[in-house]
Chains A and B, each alone.
Chain A
Amino acid sequence: MRPILLQGHERSLTQIKFNAEGDLLFSCSKDYVINVWYTHNGERLGTYEGHNGSVWTVDVDSDSKYLISGSADNTMKLWSVSTGKCLYTWELPTAVKRVAFNEDGDQVACITEQRMGFQSAIRVFKLDKEDGTKQSEEPLHMFNPIGSKATVCAFTLTPNIIITGHESGKVALFNVKTGEEVDSNERAHGDVVTDMQLSKDWSYCITSSKDKSARIHDTKKLMVVKTFTTETPLNSAALAPNRPYVLLGGGQEAMSVTTTSLRQGKFETRFWHKVFEEEVGRVKGHFGPINTIAVHPAGTCYASGGEDGFVRVHHFDDSYFKARPYGEMEIID
C-alpha cells in the first residue's frame, strides 16, 4: 500500500481522529493549528485557527457538526466543522490535556493539567446543540480525582460514568455527578497511560502506556482482557474494526531520538493480533516516534501521526482483508 503523506503541521502531532463515517480526519499538533482532511485522497479541507498554544486534543461529535479542542493556552474551543469558525471558548485555569464527546454529542468531558497550584480536574460540560455560540460557561460537573492525575478519559455506556487513565498507570471509573471513584484498577499499567480508545460498541477499550504495554479493558468491570507487551514505550493504541488486530505506536522518548538509529528507534506501527496477543506485522515510515494512531471506523484505512510532524494515511490493500495469519476462523467482534 502507498501511504498518503499529510504535511499540514510544523510540529509534532498530538492527536488524530476520524469522524463517525470516516471521511474526515482531524489532526492537531503542537503548532497551534487543527487541520481537517478528506480521508480518501488526503486533500486538506481546511484549518481551525485560534488557539495560542499547543493543541493537545480534539474530538468530533457523531454528526460531524461540532469539533472540540483542548490546548495549552488554557482554553477549550468549540468549532463548526464545516466552516472552521470558533463558536465558543471556555477559559480554564490550566492546560486542557484531553477532551471527549459522549455518544449523543451533548456532553464534553475535559481533563485539565495539574499546574500553578491547581489540581488536575475533570469537568463535564453540557452543550447546546442548537446554537453552538450559546454555551454555559460553568461546567455541569467538576471534580478532582484524588491521587495520581488523569491523562486520558472517555465516556462509557453507563450514564454519568467515565473511564480514565492516570499518570500512575491506574485505570478507573468515576461517577461525574459525585466525583466518586466507582471502581479502579491501580495496577492496570506500570507507567503513565498515554492513550485510550473505545471499541465500536464501547464495551471495551484499549489503553497504551509508557510501560511498553497496551491492554484491553472491559469498560464495565475494568477487567484486563488482553495484554500486548512490546519493547518500546507506547504513545498510542487503536483497535481495528472488523479485523482482529490492534495497532500500536510508539518509540523511544523524543529527546533521545537523535542519538539512536532509525532501526533501533522502533518507529513502526505494529499490528498485533487481538486474541492471540502476538505481533503479526509492522508498517514503517515515520522518522520519529508515533504519537497517535487512529483507525477508520469501517476498518478500511488507518492514519498515524508522528513526532516528525507527518500524518500518514494508509488505505489497506486486499491482502490485509484476506490475510488469515492463524488459519481460517472468524473472530466475532
Chain B
Amino acid sequence: MASAIRAQKTSWADDVDDHDLVDQNKIEDYVDENGIRTTIEYAINEDGKKVKIVRKTRKVLQKSVVEHAVAERQKWAKFGKERGNKPGPDRATTTVGEEVMLKLSAGNKLSEPEPSPEENVKARLAKAGAGKVVCRVCKGEHFTAKCPYKDKLAGLESSVLDEDGGAASDAAPAAPGPAATSTTGKYVPPSMRAGASRAGESMRGGMSREDLPTLRVTNISEDTQESDLRELFGMFGKVARVYVGRDRETGAGKGFAFVSFEDRANAERALEKVNGKGYDNLILSVQWSQPRPGQ
C-alpha cells in the first residue's frame, strides 16, 4: 500500500508525508503489570481509511505431567524430511482447522431428512428473492421439467379425481360441505349449491346445443383430434360435444376447438385447470365460448 502511494508522488516535498506514513505504521508494544501484552498497530484498510488495530495477548504456560518415555520422545531430533527443522509445528504441514461441532445426543440421526440437490437450488432461489418454484403443469413446488405428470397432463387427473371423491362423499349424507361454502360469500353456481344433486343435472338434457356450457380452446396443435380433446376434457366430467376447427381444403386443424360439457360446474373446473397448461408443446388457452353476435 505504502509503495503504491509513493509511486504517485512526484515532488520531493511530499517525502515528509511519507515519514508520517511510516510513523503511522509504527507498532506500539507494551506489557502491563498483569502480564497482558498489548500491541497497537495502525494500518490503512482497503477503503483507504486508517484503522487502529489493538491486540491483547496473554501467555499462559500449560504444564502437564507425562510419562517418562513420552517426555523423552519430546526431545528426539527430527528426521527424514523434517531433518534439521526447528522444534514446533511447521505451517506447511500443520494447520488448525475450522471449529467443528460434536453434539452427542440420543436419538437416531438416520431419520433426519437430507435436502436433495433440487431442494438446495429451490432454497437458493428463494433466498435470492426469485420466489417459490411452481410447476406450470400441476402447480406443485417443483420444476416443470421434473413434474411427474408432464407427459400426460396427469396432474389434472389426480387433482380432479381428488375433488370428485370429495364431492361424492359430501353429496351422499346431509352435505355439510356445500353448506359451508355458501357462507363464504363467493358466487356458487346453482348446481353446486346446497340441495342441488346430480339428479338436477339430467334436467338439462333437453337443452339445445347452444345452451350447453361450451369452452373455446385455442392454441391447440394442428393434428389434435376430437378424440384427444375428449380424452383430455373427459377427466372433468361428461363431454357432450367436441368440435375442432379445420381447414376446409386440407383438413388440418386451425388451432381452435369448442368443447361442450353437460354440466357447467365441470366446464368451470376444466377451464380453471386446463387454461395455461401445456399440451403437445403448446400452452392452451381456454375461455368461455361467446355466442356469435348474430345468433
Cα–Cα distance between A271 and B94 once the two chains are bound (Å): 25
- Residue from B76, B93, B114 within 8 A of A263 (CB atoms): B114
Residues of chain A at interface, number, CB under 8 A: 56
Instruction: Contact check, B102 vs A41: say whether CB atoms are below 8 A apart.
Output: no
- Contacting A at CB under 8 A, from B66-84, are 66-67, 69-70, 73-74, 76, 78-83
Question: Interface stretch among B31-39, B103-111, B226-234, B280-288?
Answer: B103-111
Nearest Cβ on chain A to B235's Cβ, whole angstroms: 38
Chain A residue nearest to B88 (CB atoms) is A43
Contacts of A325 in B (CB 8 A): 104-106
* A231 is an interface residue with CB less than 8 A from chain B: yes
Instruction: With A7-B95, A41-B89, A44-B93 as known contacts, state yes or no: A49 contacts B81, CB within 8 Å.
Output: yes
Instruction: Contact check, B78 vs A46: say whether CB atoms are below 8 A apart.
Output: yes
Instruction: Contact check, B90 vs A317: say whether CB atoms are below 8 A apart.
Output: no
Instruction: Contact check, B97 vs A3: say whether CB atoms are below 8 A apart.
Output: yes
Cα–Cα distance between A204 and B232 once the two chains are bound (Å): 67
Cα–Cα distance between A175 and B88 once the two chains are bound (Å): 46
* B87 is an interface residue with CB less than 8 A from chain A: yes
Question: Interface stretch among A93-101, A118-126, A179-187, A276-284?
Answer: A276-284
Instruction: Contact check, B94 vs A43: say whether CB atoms are below 8 A apart.
Output: yes
* B98 is an interface residue with CB less than 8 A from chain A: yes
- Residue from A37, A38, A47, A312 within 8 A of B74 (CB atoms): A38
Contacts of B93 in A (CB 8 A): 6-8, 44
Number of A-B contacts (CB under 8 A): 132
Instruction: Contact check, A23 vs B97: say whether CB atoms are below 8 A apart.
Output: no
Cα–Cα distance between A308 and B293 once the two chains are bound (Å): 77
Instruction: Contact check, A23 vs B82: say whether CB atoms are below 8 A apart.
Output: no
* A2 is an interface residue with CB less than 8 A from chain B: yes
Contacts of B95 in A (CB 8 A): 4-5, 7
Chain A residue nearest to B64 (CB atoms) is A40
Cα–Cα distance between A271 and B108 once the two chains are bound (Å): 11
- Residue from B76, B83, B92 within 8 A of A82 (CB atoms): B76
Chain B residue nearest to A245 (CB atoms) is B104
Known: A24-B73, A43-B90. 7 other contacts (CB 8 A): A2-B98, A4-B95, A270-B109, A312-B97, A323-B104, A323-B105, A326-B106
Of all A-B residue pairs in the complex, the 5 with the closest CB atoms, nearest first, are: A47-B80, A84-B79, A46-B79, A323-B104, A42-B94
